[in-house]
Amino acid sequence: MSIKHNKLRNTGLLFELLVRQFTSDTLINKDSKSVGILREYFHNTDIFSEYQIYNAIAKARNLPDNKAETLIGACLESYKKLNKEKLSKQKYKLIAEIKNNFSIDDFFKAKVDNYTVLASVYSLLEMHSSENIDVQDYARCKETILEHITSKKDSGKDVIIEEFSKSDKGTRALIYQMTLNKFNDRYEDLNENQKNLLKQYITNISTSQQLKEYCNNSIRSIKTELKGIIKTMTDEVHKVKLQEVAKLISEVPENKTVNESDVSNILSYFELIKECKSIK
């Protein structure tokens, strides 16, 4: 039997979207209904137990094939032990809460980078519980998950961050390395440029092309501001380093979709400008 992906019943996806909704609401100083929903349904519940299965697979990277197979097997066994009746009732209430508090169309507009993996986990779990399995679908979903688990994790750093992380202490003072696993960790430290960038990415109001244009406009603005800082800088060592940085900063290519790593890099460039202004 072929299993059709149901976004409203995908616990891993719902968690990611609720966190995004909370982040989006916080950025505009709006009380978020998602906080209460997360506390009620993702704490000591069967839904939370199911989410942990999604999370274990989503977070796993760079594992050898045998360990990847072992992880998938352990996750399927954990899912098998869940009380499906209780899980179904909790999920029914969760879905009702989401529908009552958010526009479903808007709620699912937010981009989730690991959507394909989460969808494959959902289908694999559902097929594992079914008596009739579509062998081709099962193999396809498992292959997607295995590719994810065995691939190397993106460090979120680009050549600029890597190069200057090895430099002397004075140069490193120019660069504040910002890596973001979740966008709700450090609001108070972000300036308006950074908040606006996060808002564009998290809420996904724009289309992919519009988001890319926004990011590239930000990059062009950053390069222009860096050039102005370089002109007024008296420390020749830092001046040369900044000139090298300005050359390395590049726009998001036309054939590439903006991802979390791109956003993190642009946030770092904004942070670099803040640091430069503080030590001028």
**Cα–chain center distance at 154:** 11
When comparing pLDDT for 172 and 145, which is higher?
145
With beta carbons less than 8 A apart as the criterion, state whether 28 and 116 touch. no
d(CA 278, CA 79): 52
Contacts for 119 with CB less than 8 Å, ≥ 6 apart: 5, 10, 13
Q: For 147-159, what is the mean pLDDT?
A: 67
Amino acid (1-letter code) at residue 65: D
**Exposure b/e, 173-198, CB count within 10 A at least 16 = b:** ebbeebebeebeeeeeebeebbeebb
Q: For 83-109, what is the mean pLDDT?
A: 92
> What proportion of the chain, given as a percentage, has pLDDT over 70?
81
With beta carbons less than 8 A apart as the criterion, state whether 154 and 252 touch. no
Encode pLDDT of 65-80 as tens digits: 999 999 999 999 999 9
What is the per-residue pLDDT for 11? 95
Res. 26 pLDDT band, cuts 50 70 90:
low
What is the per-residue pLDDT for 178? 34
Predicted confidence (pLDDT) at residue 190 exceeds the cutoff of 90: no
Amino acid (1-letter code) at residue 63: L
**CA count, 13 A, side-chain hemisphere, 228:** 8
Res. 142 pLDDT band, cuts 50 70 90:
very high
Q: Where are the alpha helices (DSSP H) in 102-235?
A: 104-107, 115-128, 135-150, 159-165, 169-172, 192-203, 208-232
Of 80, 91, 116, the residue nearest 5 (C-alpha): 116
Six-digit token string for 164: 């200057």
Average pLDDT, the chain: 79
What is the per-residue pLDDT for 135? 86
What is the per-residue pLDDT for 9? 93
Tell me the CA distances in angstroms from 29 to 26, 32, 158, 196, 206, one per residue in order. 5, 9, 32, 13, 20
Encode pLDDT of 197-230 as tens digits: 877 776 554 457 888 889 999 999 999 998 898 8
Predicted confidence (pLDDT) at residue 162 exceeds the cutoff of 50: no
With beta carbons less than 8 A apart as the criterion, state whether 261 and 161 touch. no
Res. 57 pLDDT band, cuts 50 70 90:
very high
What is the per-residue pLDDT for 278? 72
Encode pLDDT of 240-278 as tens digits: 878 878 888 888 888 777 877 788 788 878 878 887 777
The neighbour count for residue 73, using CB atoms within 10 Å, is 10
Measured on CA atoms in the order 74, 80, 81, 86, is the torsion positive or negative?
positive
The DSSP symbol for 270 reads: H
Of 85, 138, 100, 119, the residue nearest 14 (C-alpha): 119
What is the per-residue pLDDT for 19? 82
Contacts for 130 with CB less than 8 Å, ≥ 6 apart: 1, 3
Q: For 112-121, what is the mean pLDDT?
A: 90
